[in-house]
Structure 1
Amino acid sequence: MADQIRPVAAGREIVAYGGSVGAYAAMYFGGILDARILALAPRNRLHPLCNAMPGRLQHHEHLSEIPIYSHRPVVFFDPKQPKDARLVNRWVRAAYPDAHIRVGHNVIGGLATSVHLGTIASGFFCGTVPPAIQIWDQTSPHWYAGESNRAEQKGDLETALNHLTEGAKIAPTIPILE
């Protein structure tokens, strides 16, 4: 792939960006192309760090096994999402210990529904490193939906219901579950 892109991109700066599996691909192929990388919640359900069955991944398992690019990637992820946290902490940081890591709850949805995504993307494309941001806090029904989901996953249904109830008090007429 890199051999096909290099002649077309000769003399140009390459930027790789994406969300979820697109962010994973940006991290994976961006190094090969020496691109600047903006990755929003990188994840690949076939990767062993995302609890995939062994042998399903058809490329290098470790990011550090492929060419590392000269720029520091910018990575946004939700540390409360175990699969995202494992992939960033064990896969991205192993290859790029100096990466610009930014965290926040429900990062892709939060950025997409706020004014932050356009500002972050355009700033990144112009060469600036996005600042750390807080997408949702306890004034947002989305924050309560995320907390409810985490409580439910732990089997704490009472806490899950309490979070949903609090979120509904803030915004009783919009859907808050993803």
Structure 2
Amino acid sequence: MLLIHARKRLRLCYVFTENTVWNPIEVLATAEGAETMRLVSLKDPEQLNSVVEYRVWGSNRNLFGNCSIGEQVIFLTKGDLMISGMISGDPFLSNEVIWEKDLYQWRLPMNNLIRAKGNPVLLAEKEIRKMLRTIYGKSYGNIFHLFIQLSSEASSSIERVLTELKWVTL
């Protein structure tokens, strides 16, 4: 699979082949809107299968109205898997069932999906959650549930953690 990322305001064009190991921050930081970040916390990592296969994220609620193309989304699984991607289009409604457990009719197109696995991901996720608790307090879970855009302080802190992981294109 060949992934080409080019945007109108992007000065460089990045070409990735399957299993390319790269640092997402170097690429995502150059894209319009990439200075913003959102987080998703999944109880069931199997939900990521549809994200990877169909290149969309879904919700039963319209949480995507204020999202921008180019924003980074980090999917945390409370396990040894983490996926990062970029919002690639406007939100839309769909009645196509692509997740096993629910419809999730509100959809958000994603591209530039990359994956990190293993013990370093477990440690990184713990560190990210600790940072969020420090910045936002005990109610930091609302960031996940409401798909809230992170502050620049939180985004910068998380980016530093993400750069330590080894990422592979999907």
Q: Please, what TM-score do these two structures have when normalized by structure 2?
A: 0.27
More helix by share: 1
Larger C-alpha radius of gyration, 1 or 2? 1
TM-score by length of 1: 0.26
The structure whose RCO (Cα within 8 Å, separation 6+) is larger is 2
Q: Which has the higher strand share?
A: 2
